[in-house]
Amino acid sequence: MLLELSIRDVVLIDRADLSFGPGLSALTGETGAGKSILLDAFGLTLGARSDSGLVRSGAERATVSATFDESVRGDIADLLDEADIVIDAGEDVILRRVVGKDGRSRAFVNDQPVSVGLLRQIGDALVEIHGQFERFSLAEAAQQRNALDAFAGLSGQRDKVAQLHAAWRTAADTRRAALEAASASQHEADELRAALDELERLDPREGEEAELTSRRQLLQNATRLVETLNEASDALSGEPGADILLQRAARLLERDDAIAGGRLAPVIASLDKAGAELAEAVQELNSVAHALDADPGELETVEERLFALLAAARRHGVSADELPLVREQVATRLLAIDDRDNHLDALSQAVETSRRAYSEAAEKLSAARQKAARRLDKEIMQELPPLKLENAALATRVSRLDEGDWSATGIDAVAFEVSTNPGAEPGPLGKIASGGELSRFMLALKVVLAGTSGSRTIVFDEVDTGIGGATAAAVGTRLADLAGGGENQQILVVTHSPQVAASARAHLRVEKQSGGNSNRTDVTLLDPDARREEIARMLAGAEITDEARAAAERLLSGEQEPSVQANA
C-alpha cells in the first residue's frame, strides 16, 4: 500500500508531501489545476518515461519518492532477489526517481541504484493504473488470461500445466540435440572413428606432457650434467676427497680427546654426522648419475612421444592434458551415431508421452476456463448498467491456439471483447472502448475480480468521464466497495464527480496558485469543512451557494443529490 508521495520541482509543483491510507482517496480540482502533473510525478516512481519538460523552470532536477509499507516486499521478493537488493525486515519500500534538466534520469529502490526497467517491473507489481494514463494491465491479453485464472482459482491446475510443459520441452530439446548428432554423415563417422583409433593408440594420460618435457630437458643436458657430477664426486670422495679429510680430522681429535678432558666429543660427533650426510650426498649423486646412464636412443623416444601428444592436441584444438576427455567425447558421439536408431526411438517415445500428459492437463485447464468465462461474463454484465454502459456488452473469449503457440500457460488465448452499442461488432477491450468507457469497463472488471489481483494500490483516472447523477453515485459506491477489501487495499481516483468524491474516505484537492509571473500547483488534504466546500464547488461551479453546501452535506452523509446546478 502507498503510504507517502513526495514531490520536488515537477512542472508546477514546487514541493508536495502527501500521505495516503487504505480505502478510497479522491483527488479533485478544476480543469488545468495540475491533477495530471500529480499523476505524471507518481508515474515517474513507477518507471514511466521521463523528459526534461517535467523539471520545474529554474530547478536543476525533479525528484519524486513513493513510499510503500513493508508488507509489499513479498509481492516483489523475486525482483529484489534477482537484482541483489536487500531491504531489512520492518523497512518500508521506497521508490525514487531523479530527473535532471537535461532529461536524464536515475532510479533508486531504498537508495540502491537500479535500472529504470527494473523500477517499471516493480511499479507494475505494486500499482495498477486504469484510465487516461499510461498502463492498462487488464487491457493486455496476458493479463486477461491471468485475471480469468485468478477469478476461477486455477493456480494449481496452471502450475501443473507449466510443469508438464517444461518436461515436454526438455524431452523435445533432448531429441532435437540427438537428431543433430545422429544426422552426421558417414564421412563424419569415419573421421570420428579414425580420430578415436588414433587416440586409443596414443593412450594419452593427464600430466604426461609435463613429465615428458622434464625428462627431455634432463636428457638434452646429460653430457653437461655428467661432467658436473664427476667433478662433484671427485671433490667428495676422490683423493683426497672430503670424506677422507673428515675421517682424518675425526681420528686426530679422538686421539687427544682424553687429554682435552672430553671437551672434543661434541666436535667429533658433528664430524661423524657430517660424514654420514656426506655419504648420503654421494649416494644421491650416484642415483642421478645412474638416471643419466640411459639408452642413447631414449631422448629420441621421449621427443617422439611428446611431439605426438602435442600434434594430437593441436588437431583437436585442446591442451595435451585434455586429450583423455576428448577421447571419451569422440567415443560417446560415435556411439550415438552407431546406435542412433534405437536411441532416437526411445527419445521420440519420451517426447510423445510428455506431450500427451501436457495436452491432457491443458485440456482440463481449458475446460475450466470456458466454464469460468461464462460465469465471469454474467457477473460483469450485471455491473455495466449502473455505470451507464447499459448498451454495452463484454464477453470473455477462450480460443484454442495452434500447437506451435502452446505454452506454459496452456493451449488457450483469452481475450476480453466488448461492444459499446447494440449490434456493433465486438472487439478487443483496449481498442474498442474510449478512455472514459475503458475506465468504467475496468471498474466493472475490478469489482468482479476483487480479491484476485495482487495489486494493493489501484489508480483510476477520469473514471467518471461523461456521467453524473445516479450513475456517478454508482461509480463512487463501487469504488468504495472495491477499496473496502481490507486495510491493505487502496484506491486513488482522479475525479470531477462530486458523487464519486463524496464516496471517498480521504479527499485531496489539487489547486493552481498564481502569483506575479509564475504559477504553482498545491495539493491539500481536506478536513471535513474544506471537503464540504470542495464538493459544493464541484456541484455549483465558480459561485458556491448555501444550496450547494447543503447538497454537499447530503452527499457526504450518503444521500443522492443530483439536482444542484452550476451557476451561470
Please identify which residue in the block is written with the cell numbers 585434455. 322
Q: For residues 495 and 166, what is the distance between their CA atoms, to the nearest angstrom?
A: 46
Q: Is residue 344 part of a domain?
A: no
- For 54-97, the three-class secondary structure string (H helix, E strand, C coil) is HECCCCCEEEEEEEECHHHHHHHHHHHHHCCCCCCCCCCEEEEE
What does the pLDDT read at residue 563? 39
Whether residue 515 is found in the same domain as residue 379: yes
Whether residue 6 is found in the same domain as residue 135: yes
Q: How many domains, the chain?
A: 2
Q: Is residue 536 part of a domain?
A: no
Angle at 258 between CA 256 and CA 261, to 5 degrees: 115
Whether residue 101 is found in the same domain as residue 27: yes
Contact 542, 530 (CB under 8 A): no
Whether residue 499 is found in the same domain as residue 428: yes
Whether residue 65 is found in the same domain as residue 108: yes
In sequence order, the β-bridge partners of residue 8 are 15, 63
**398: helix, coil or strand?**
strand
Strand ranges in 297-404 using DSSP code E only, listed in sequence order: 393-400
Q: CB-based contacts of 380: which residues, under 8 Å, 6+ apart?
A: 394, 444, 445, 448
Whether residue 215 is found in the same domain as residue 299: yes
Query: CA 167: distance to chain centroid?
Result: 22
Q: Is residue 551 part of a domain?
A: no
Task: For the chain, 568 residues long, give each residue's pLDDT as a single digit of tens.
Answer: 899 999 999 988 888 888 888 889 999 888 777 788 888 899 999 998 888 889 998 899 999 999 999 888 888 888 999 888 988 888 899 999 999 988 899 999 999 999 999 999 999 888 887 765 444 567 778 888 988 998 899 989 999 999 999 999 999 999 988 887 766 666 777 888 899 999 999 999 999 999 999 888 877 776 667 667 666 776 767 677 777 777 777 788 888 777 878 788 888 888 788 878 888 887 787 777 666 665 667 788 888 999 999 999 999 999 999 999 999 998 888 887 777 777 788 999 999 999 999 999 999 999 999 999 999 999 999 988 888 888 889 999 999 999 999 999 999 999 999 888 887 788 888 777 666 677 778 778 877 876 566 667 888 887 676 677 777 888 888 888 888 755 667 889 888 889 999 989 999 998 887 765 667 788 888 999 999 999 999 888 768 888 888 988 988 887 655 433 333 2
**What φ, ψ does residue 76 adopt, rounded to 5°?**
-125, 20
Q: CB-based contacts of 453: which residues, under 8 Å, 6+ apart?
A: 128, 147, 150, 446
Q: Please, is 460 exposed, middle or buried when counting C-beta atoms within 10 Å of its C-beta (0-12, 13-18, 19+)?
A: buried
Containing structural domain, residue 206: 186-338
| End position of a domain, from candidates 526, 542, 561 | 526
Q: Is residue 352 part of a domain?
A: no
Whether residue 383 is found in the same domain as residue 493: yes
Q: For residues 549 and 97, what is the distance between their CA atoms, to the nearest angstrom?
A: 41
CATH code: domain of residue 516? 3.40.50.300
Q: Is residue 534 part of a domain?
A: no
**What φ, ψ does residue 110 adopt, rounded to 5°?**
50, 50
25, 20, 17, 16: which is closest to 3 by C-alpha? Answer: 20
Contact 268, 253 (CB under 8 A): yes
Whether residue 297 is found in the same domain as residue 370: no
What does the pLDDT read at residue 518? 64
Whether residue 198 is found in the same domain as residue 329: yes
CA distances from 366 to 98, 374, 445 (A): 46, 13, 21
What does the pLDDT read at residue 360? 97
Q: Is residue 384 part of a domain?
A: yes
What does the pLDDT read at residue 185? 60
Whether residue 248 is found in the same domain as residue 282: yes
Sign of CA dihedral 300, 301, 305, 308: positive
Whether residue 299 is found in the same domain as residue 446: no
Whether residue 375 is found in the same domain as residue 511: yes
Q: CB-based contacts of 333: which residues, under 8 Å, 6+ apart?
A: 181, 184, 192
Q: For residues 47 and 38, what is the distance between their CA atoms, to the nearest angstrom?
A: 15
| End position of a domain, from candidates 310, 338, 366 | 338
